[in-house]
Chains A and B, each alone.
Chain A
């Protein structure tokens, strides 16, 4: 039989089996492909914003890393990735991490609306610190999840530290019992995004013979540290919702010839706001003023910009106090709001308010906002989330705005007529405001997202709804080729893998344990014959006879 013949061959084979493995395994290992190992945890994470404004770099400049995870207290070198809760990290700690650590992963609070005012204030301070200057280490944000919470807790209570502590035995026990985490984000290196800011505008034509135009403008992007989480409810979903509501109300009024007001109303939605220095507004203005028939902006009585109008009573921000008997003064007196005067400072990196873009071109413009100062951190915060209270404030403010506008357009002064008119025609529809406010504040609307989305996204949705009320034109803008005003960088999101690992020493200890076990096994086999004899004696009651 061939098996018997193989015995001789098997003898040689058997003698060399362990040595032959030494050759075969390396070959196997070289040949086998690098298998993508399934990590025990996989998270969707959002990269901190990165953009250049006038060639000045902002935000986080790198994206990929593969480092050991550590907690806020135990990290030491640039080989560590710090993992922490957003509310736990202090500004000083952040500055140190920015300078020395390898990467930073921040987990957002479980429920942003449940934070106390102190925590919110802390997060705003931190955001300001993080925005201050560019960061060279990768910074990622993750949504809260129970798994991530476990990992953070594990890292915080981990015994893995760099300083030698306790006895050798203690240290050994620690390496066996503790979990380490290897944190990996592999994504494309930062690259410029193909950004196409747009401006939507549509005009309601007033009575023939009246050439005056009122412009209502709002920007629909949001700004915060994390582009994918910039859902900006107050800034500026509220402004856009108000603009859409005004467009709805006045398009209905203007559709009846007898009710049509004198001046035309031009609605303008721009896709880049304060974070990119109102770039699309600037481009759009240049286009309109340079075009052959500059009828659109020929006789502008005033430009009203809506920005963050859901957090309280309104104020009117101007660069030049309105003179009496002008249209701006008329609307100011009808709005009955305080005027905040701030001169344009061209030396600043960005303009303060949206209206300054128009004021530079010598147009009468003002911004209506609930905020008292353009420096308010809530304009660029991830804490800017929708709430019912804000929605109610927004509703009241829209009612105020529409009343003021209507009474200006129809030049009404008598209170009674006004009340009657409001009831009839100016009914502000809470449902449609709510719909748009909630829709917009559920969408990430950072310039990184809205100006780069392939199939329209928020811009397309806004174009569709605005075209129900007015005829919409879309202007697409491009940055200057030689000296780009701004550049946006991706990737904005990535996948984060967390591998649980053991320290390198652990394998050595495991080897020792295995060797000890095998030694015991070896001696057990050696003493087995003697054991068998004794055992047989016990079982059969007699000494075994051979």
Chain B
């Protein structure tokens, strides 16, 4: 399509991140450099993950060609995503401030880096071309969902790291954290089972992210109330 279309897509990606940064109050903590730091950690984590994948896993291109879908291999690969949680943990640790500021700064920085690394080239090449596809608009909307998902994930990691986490919340937080790496795998499996088209799949992702985020928020609310008390 046109450059204008690219602008549209860019607005759909960039503005929510900008608003999350501006209106959540974290900008008042002057923590832009912390966001950048979290982003740097994200990139470092991805490099580590790639190293792991490249060392211990067979070449995935070959299995794509043969069309076989090795469930166990996919699960093992998703397990490597636990590294993301450690990365988030380090990001949270290195950010000073109150709980919610920590979480949001880490989440915005982390998710921004993810968008920059995974989607910018894709959009630059795709959305600017003369061929129109809903794919690009969808990818932009997906970036919004991933911000929500990262925020939920960061909250869970922060909660798990607290020593004063109420014991009755611990199983919930732990199970949600353990499920986090397999999130996209589960969503894809469900989509395949229900043979969903891409737009409903996106809605599914959004609903899933929202549910996880609300659960994390509830746990956070309980903890925050407990600390205050």
B191 within 8 A of A: no
How far apart are the CA atoms of A10 and B27 in the complex, in Å? 11
A328 to B165, CA, bound (A): 114
> In the complex, A465→B117 CA distance in Å?
63
Stretch of A123-131, A143-151, A342-350, A535-543 with 4 or more beta carbons under 8 angstroms from chain B: A535-543
Query: Distance (Å) between the CB of B7 and the closest chain A CB?
Result: 8
Residues in A neighbouring B27, C-beta threshold 8 A: 14
A6 to chain B, nearest CB (A): 5
Q: How many residues of B contact A (CB 8 A)?
A: 40
- Binary contact track B16-59/A, C-beta < 8 Å → 1, others 0: 10111001100100101110110000000000000000000000
> Is B221 within 8 A of A535, CB to CB?
yes
Main secondary structure on B side of the interface with A: helix
B12 within 8 A of A: yes
A36 and chain B: residue at smallest CB distance: B129
For the complex, is B189 an interface residue (Cβ under 8 Å from A)?
A: no
Q: Please give the distance in Å from A111's CB to the nearest CB on chain B.
A: 31
Known A-B contacts A518-B11, A539-B221; A29 and B3 likewise in contact (beta carbons under 8 Å): yes
Q: In the complex the two chains form, what is the Cα distance from A3 to B40 in whole Å?
A: 12
The answer to the question of B1 belonging to the interface, with a C-beta cut-off of 8 Å to chain A, is: yes
Q: Which of B76-133 contact A (CB under 8 A)?
A: 124-125, 128-133
Asked if B23 and A536 make an inter-chain contact with CB atoms under 8 angstroms apart, the answer reads no
Which residues from chain B contact A536 at a C-beta distance below 8 Å? 221, 224-225
Residue of A nearest to B40 (CB): A3
Residues of A within 8 A of B36 (CB): 3, 10
- Name the B residues within 8 Å of A518 (CB-CB): 11-12, 15-16, 19
Establish whether residues B225 and A532, one from each chain, have CB atoms under 8 Å apart when the complex forms: no
Q: Contact check, B23 vs A10: say whether CB atoms are below 8 A apart.
A: no
The residues of A that contact B1 with a CB separation of less than 8 Å are 501-502, 507
| Total A-B contacts with CB atoms under 8 angstroms apart | 102
Instruction: Tell me, yes or no, whether A35 is within 8 Å of chain B by CB.
Output: yes
Whether the Cβ atoms of B32 and A7 lie closer than 8 Å is yes
How many residues of A are in contact with the other chain, CB < 8 A?
Answer: 42
* B 196-229 to A, binary, CB cutoff 8 A, 1 in contact else 0: 0000000000000000001001100110110011
**Chain A residues whose C-beta falls within 8 Å of the C-beta of B69 in the assembled complex:** none
Q: How far is the CB of B129 from chain A (nearest CB, A)?
A: 3
Interface: A514 (CB within 8 A): yes
**Contact, CB under 8 Å: B5 / A510:** yes
Instruction: Assess whether B221 is in contact with A507, with CB atoms less than 8 Å apart.
Output: no
Q: Does A20 contact B (CB under 8 A)?
A: no
List residues of chain B with CB within 8 A of the CB of A35: 125, 128-129
Report the Cα distance A17→B27, complex, angstroms: 13
CB of B131 within 8 A of CB of A501, answer: yes
Q: Is B2 located at the chain interface by the 8 A CB criterion?
A: yes
Where the two chains meet, the residues of A that have a C-beta atom closer than 8 Å to any C-beta of B are 3-4, 6-7, 10-11, 13-14, 17-18, 29, 32, 35, 37-40, 182, 499-502, 507, 510-511, 514, 517-518, 521-522, 525-526, 528, 532, 535-536, 539-540, 542, 544-546
Give the interface of B toward A (CB within 8 A). 1-5, 8, 11-12, 15-16, 18-20, 23-24, 27, 30, 32-34, 36-37, 124-125, 128-133, 137, 214, 217-218, 221-222, 224-225, 228-229
Please list 24 pairs of residues, one from A and one from B, whose beta carbons are closer than 8 Å in the complex, sorted by A's number: A3-B37, A4-B33, A7-B30, A10-B30, A10-B33, A10-B36, A18-B18, A32-B124, A35-B129, A38-B129, A182-B130, A499-B131, A501-B130, A501-B132, A507-B1, A507-B4, A510-B8, A518-B19, A521-B19, A525-B19, A535-B218, A540-B222, A544-B225, A545-B228
